[in-house]
Structure 1
Amino acid sequence: MRKLIYVILTSLAVALVGCVTINVYFPEAAAQKAADQFIGNVLDHAGAAAKPAPKEPKPSAGNGGGQPSAMLLDLLIPAAQAADTPNIRIQTAATEAISGRMQARFHGALGDLLASGAVGFTRDGMVAMRDATKVPLSQRAQANATIADENRDRTALYREIANANNHPEWEPQIRATFAKSWIEKAHAGWYYQNAAGAWQQK
């Protein structure tokens, strides 16, 4: 009987640890929060700068739940709580510099291009020319340079976040998460690509 209980507990522990291992590979919820925070700061940094602060205390709230049944799980898989915590690193010197450049573009040339409908957000986390006829011929070279600068920074951002979290293999997933967030946070009137690649207006 004792052997049977031991086998059941061991199997349960292995199964639970297996579940946690899957979470560790890519913390999707944490990445979504990180993307929302970064993009919120870029698109609307005056209002968004105050928003991240209240989110910080959330992890400590988990310590208050003193249910005895949770104690066994904490002993078996202490990483389970960490997996639920929005703990993905997005602030480095490189990402701060990228954020500053993006803010300048969104409050300048890129913002104007998006508002005119000439440029839109792509489904892969970049920006692209949607309708060049909305840009005067004399300004098209500058518009293309602005798009190239933005996409260069976006590529660097996704790579930097993956590397800052010691998981370079996360880069495609981080890009996909940011792509979704860029579209969700797009201002009314801006264009974006749907899942099929067709342009739609917010």
Structure 2
Amino acid sequence: MRKLVYVILTSLAVALVGCVTINVYFPEAAAQKAADQFIGNVLDGAAPAASPAPKQQKPAAGNDGQQPSAMLLDLLIPAAQAAETPNIRIQTSATEAISGRMHERFQGALGDLLDSGAVGFTRDGMVAMRDAAKVPLSQRAQANTTVADENRDRVALYREVANANNHPEWEPQIRVTFAKSWIEKARAGWYYQDAAGAWQKK
């Protein structure tokens, strides 16, 4: 009987470890939270907060009389739960530099372009000239440079976040997640593209 219990528990342990190992899918909820934090810092000017360390549940200490099989489950189940709610790392020296440049643009030229309706957020996580007629002819070259600089930083940001998490293949999903957050956090009066690519006013 004892042997049968250990066989069952071993099978369960293998299944749980398999769940932990297989769960390498893109953690959308954690990425959304990270995007919201980054964009909030850029738009509101808050100093970047230190990235919290992932919370790890400690396995229960071996109480007197606790069966080894119960201790094994205590060790495996928190690991499986942690895999379900991973943390996304967005704080690197590169992302902090990008955040600083973006914040300056939003406080200056890019913020003015968004306020005027000349520029808007695209559905793919970038910014684009929406109505060049809203920019005086003498300032259009500078406006185009501002848009290009912002988009260069955005491409670098999405790549850096994916690489910082050791999953460069996540870059397209990081971009989609940030695109959604940029639009959600857009200020009233700013323009954005809907899913069909049509410009809408927030």
| TM-score, shorter chain, exceeding 0.5 | yes
C-alpha distance in 2 between matches for 1:74 and 1:29: 26
2:106 match = 106
Mapped pair 1:156 → 2:152: no
2:131 match = 131
Question: Does the Cα contact within 8 Å between 2:121 and 2:127 map onto a contact in 1?
Answer: yes
Question: Does the Cα contact within 8 Å between 2:59 and 2:75 map onto a contact in 1?
Answer: no
**Change beyond 3 A, Cα 1:74–1:146:** farther
2:184 match = 184
**Change beyond 3 A, Cα 1:71–1:87:** farther
TM-score when scaled to structure 2? 0.81
C-alpha distance in 2 between matches for 1:82 and 1:168: 21
C-alpha distance in 2 between matches for 1:73 and 1:187: 48
Equivalent residue runs for 1:13-24 within 5 Å? 13=13, 16-21=16-21, 23-24=23-24
1:14 is displaced (CA, Å) by 5.2
2:25 match = 25
2:141 match = 141
1:40 match = 40
Question: Does the Cα contact within 8 Å between 1:31 and 1:86 map onto a contact in 2?
Answer: no
Q: How many pairs were matched up?
A: 195
| Structure 1 runs not aligned, ≥5 long | none
Equivalent AA in structure 1 for residue 136 of structure 2 = P
Mapped pair 1:119 → 2:119: yes
Cα deviation code 1:97-124 (max 9, x no counterpart): 1000000000000000001111000111
What's the C-alpha RMSD, in Å, of the aligned pairs?
3.0
1:88 is displaced (CA, Å) by 1.4
C-alpha distance in 2 between matches for 1:65 and 1:39: 38
Q: Larger helix proportion, structure 1 or 2?
A: 1
Aligned-residue identity in percent: 84
2:94 match = 94
C-alpha distance in 2 between matches for 1:127 and 1:84: 33
C-alpha distance in 2 between matches for 1:200 and 1:19: 42
Give the 4+ runs in structure 1 shifted more than 2 A: 1-25, 55-60, 62-66, 70-86
TM-score when scaled to structure 1? 0.81
Secondary structure at 2:24's aligned position in 1? helix
Equivalent AA in structure 2 for residue 130 of structure 1 = R
**Change beyond 3 A, Cα 1:141–1:84:** same
C-alpha distance in 2 between matches for 1:195 and 1:16: 39
Question: Does the Cα contact within 8 Å between 2:118 and 2:134 map onto a contact in 1?
Answer: yes
C-alpha distance in 2 between matches for 1:169 and 1:109: 33
1:195 match = 195
Question: Does the Cα contact within 8 Å between 2:126 and 2:151 map onto a contact in 1?
Answer: yes
**Change beyond 3 A, Cα 1:81–1:93:** same
**Change beyond 3 A, Cα 1:85–1:141:** same
Cα deviation code 1:78-111 (max 9, x no counterpart): 5323334452111111111100000000000000
Structure with max Cα Rg: 2
Secondary structure at 1:24's aligned position in 2? coil
Equivalent AA in structure 1 for residue 42 of structure 2 = V
Question: Does the Cα contact within 8 Å between 1:31 and 1:88 map onto a contact in 2?
Answer: yes
Question: Does the Cα contact within 8 Å between 1:27 and 1:83 map onto a contact in 2?
Answer: no
